[in-house]
Amino acid sequence: MKLIFLGPPGAGKGTQAVKIAARFGIAHISTGDMLRAEIREGTELGNAAKSLIDRGELVPDDVILGMVKNRIQREDCKNGFLFDGFPRTIAQAEALEAISAIDHVINLDVPVERLISRISGRRMCPDCGAAYHVSTRESGACDCGATLYQRDDDKEETVRNRLVVYERSTKPLIDYYAGKGLLHTISGDADIDTVDARIREVISK
Ligand code: AMP
């Protein structure tokens, strides 16, 4: 099974992707997580990507495509994979089409005014990648024990630019995949388990 999760920042792609990938035994491929790992390791790619990410801009298509092509060769992708945050441009989608067929594209739809509060309250675990919201995690600690942090690009000013970039570069993918008959739009404005059930229903059909 090969899936794409589409949607604006804060739609819940990462949260849902973890659940669906585990349930179907497929690899969860988050290009954002891959880039953050490169930054943490201080690689040349990570250093070049950091300033773009911190400004809420996209990393160039050729860099992303190079990472993705390598990633899908790995053993854990043999049953399939779920792209979270990729593709983000029409050029990326066209390049993906040349290397792999996709079964379903899930578009998580959440009203814009909800996105800002979701992202600016988001706190991440540096160890296991889990995401929480400040309103429900006053302790500031992850279930795994690590201290949560706020992503630099989750600050409100950057979030606003990420939404502009989404509208300009990524939203056109909705029509692109609708035209190919692959798109399923699901409301992501509900609790985590409800959205998970909606996604499972669509991809199990
Ligand atoms: P995410 O964790 O998916 O929100 O990604 C964080 C940031 O990484 C984005 O705001 C972009 O700067 C960069 N990024 C992640 N995936 C891509 C992609 N497919 N194309 C370009 N930039 C990306």
Structure tokens at 53: 């990410």
Q: Which domain holds residue 11?
A: 2-109+154-204
Q: What is the dihedral of CA 179, 59, 34, 122, to 10 degrees?
A: -90
Q: In the chain, what's the furthest Cα-to-Cα distance?
A: 46
Residue 190 in any domain: the answer is: yes
Structure tokens at 30: 């988050």
- CB of 162 closer than 6 angstroms to any ligand 1 atom: yes
Q: Quick check: 205 pLDDT over 90?
A: no
CA distance 186 to 201: 11
Residue 80 pLDDT = 97
Cα–ligand 1 centroid distance for 45 (angstroms) = 13
- Taking residues 106-115, report their average pLDDT: 94
Predicted model pTM: 0.94
Please report, for the domain that includes residue 187, its CATH number.
Answer: 3.40.50.300
Q: How confident is the model at residue 130 (pLDDT cuts 50, 70, 90)?
A: confident
Lowest mean pLDDT among 56-70, 79-93, 137-151, 174-188: 137-151
Residues 6+ apart with CB under 8 A from 128: 142, 144, 146
Residue 132 in any domain: the answer is: no
Residue 149 in any domain: the answer is: no
Cα–ligand 1 centroid distance for 143 (angstroms) = 26
Active site residue 122: yes
Residue 64 pLDDT = 98
CA distance 135 to 122: 9
Active site residue 171: no
Q: How confident is the model at residue 106 (pLDDT cuts 50, 70, 90)?
A: very high
CA distance 130 to 126: 8
Residue 51 pLDDT = 95
Please list, residue by residue across 32-45, b when 16 or more beta carbons sit within 10 angstroms of its beta carbon and e when fewer do. bebbbebbeeeeeb
Number of domain units in the chain: 1
Q: How confident is the model at residue 126 (pLDDT cuts 50, 70, 90)?
A: confident
- CB of 88 closer than 6 angstroms to any ligand 1 atom: yes
Q: Quick check: 90 pLDDT over 90?
A: yes
Which among 55, 151, 155, 198 is annotated as catalytic? 151
Q: Quick check: 127 pLDDT over 90?
A: no
Atom number of ligand 1 nearest to Cα 52: 12
